[in-house]
Amino acid sequence: MGGYAPYVWSTFGITLVVLVINVITAKRRLRSVREQLKLRVARDARRRSKE
C-alpha cells in the first residue's frame, strides 16, 4: 500500500467501530420508543374506559 497501510487499516477499524456503535444505539432507541408507546397506549386505553 505504499507505506499507507497503517492509515488505511486504522480508517477501516474506526469506520467499523462507528457502524457498530450506530447499530447498538439505534436498537436501544427503538426499544425505548416501543416501551414509551406501550405505556402511552395503556394510559389512553384506561382514560377511554373511564369515559
DSSP secondary structure letters along the chain = -TT-HHHHHHHHHHHHHHHHHHHHHHHHHHHHHHHHHHHHHHHHHHHHHH-
Q: Does residue 12 fall inside a structural domain? A: no
**Domain range for residue 41?**
24-51
Q: Does residue 14 fall inside a structural domain? A: no
Distances (CA, A) of 44 to 30, 32, 34, 41: 21, 18, 15, 5
Task: Specify the number of domains making up the chain.
Answer: 1
Res 15: pLDDT: 98
Res 2: pLDDT: 84
The predicted-structure confidence for 1-48, as pLDDT tens digits, reads as follows 788 999 999 999 999 999 999 999 999 999 999 999 999 999 999 999
R_g of the chain, CA atoms, integer Å: 22
- What is the pTM for the complete model shown? 0.72
Q: Is the confidence at residue 50, as pLDDT, over 90?
A: no
